[in-house]
Amino acid sequence: MSAADGWVVEGPQAPNGRAVDVPGDKSITHRALLLAALAEGRSRIEGPLLAGDALATRGVLAGWGVEVTEGAPGSGGKVAWEVRGRGLRGLVAPQGPLDCGRSGTTLRLAAGIAAGQGHPVTLSGDPQLLARPMGRIRDPLRALGATVEGPGDAARAPLFIHGGALRGGAWTPEVASAQVKSCLLLAGLCAGVEVTVVERTPTRDHTERLLRHLGVELTVTAGADGAQRVALPAGAGPLPAFTLEVPGDPSSASFLWAWAALTPGGDVSVEDVALNPGRTGLLRVLARMGAQVECTPAGSRGGEPVGRVRVRGQALRAVEVGGAELVALVDEVPLLALLATQATGTTRVRDASDLRHKESDRLATTAAELGRLGAQVEVLPDGLRVRGPTPLHGAVVESHGDHRLAMTLATAGLVAHGATTVRGVACHRDSFPGFCERVAALGGRVDALEEAPC
Task: Name the site residues for ligand S3P (rule: CB under 6 A).
Answer: 27, 30, 105, 177-179, 182, 203-204, 330-331
CA–CA distance, 452 with 454 (Å, rounded to integer): 6
As measured in angstroms, the least distance from the Cβ of 25 to ligand S3P is 9
Whether 247 and 223 have beta carbons less than 8 Å apart is answered as no
Task: Exactly one of 331, 351, 354, 430 is catalytic; name it.
Answer: 331
CA–CA distance, 180 with 166 (Å, rounded to integer): 17
As measured in angstroms, the least distance from the Cβ of 106 to ligand S3P is 9
The 8-class DSSP code of residue 417 comes to B
Annotated catalytic, 272?
Answer: no
Whether 33 and 45 have beta carbons less than 8 Å apart is answered as yes
The 8-class DSSP code of residue 95 comes to S
Q: Which residue is nearest to ligand S3P (CB)?
A: 27
Closer residue to ligand S3P (CB): 21 or 430: 430
Closer residue to ligand S3P (CB): 14 or 273: 273
As measured in angstroms, the least distance from the Cβ of 407 to ligand S3P is 13
CA–CA distance, 169 with 163 (Å, rounded to integer): 15
- Closest-CA residue to 210 (of 230, 239, 187): 239
As measured in angstroms, the least distance from the Cβ of 181 to ligand S3P is 8
Closer residue to ligand S3P (CB): 63 or 173: 173
80: helix, strand or coil: strand
As measured in angstroms, the least distance from the Cβ of 28 to ligand S3P is 8
| Burial of 224 (C-beta count, 10 Å sphere; 0-12/13-18/19+) | exposed
Instruction: Report CA torsion sign: 29, 428, 57, 174.
Output: negative
Task: Please state, in angstroms and as integers, the Cα–Cα distance from residue 213 to each residue in 29, 243, 275, following that order.
Answer: 15, 11, 17
Question: What positions carry a catalytic annotation?
Answer: 331
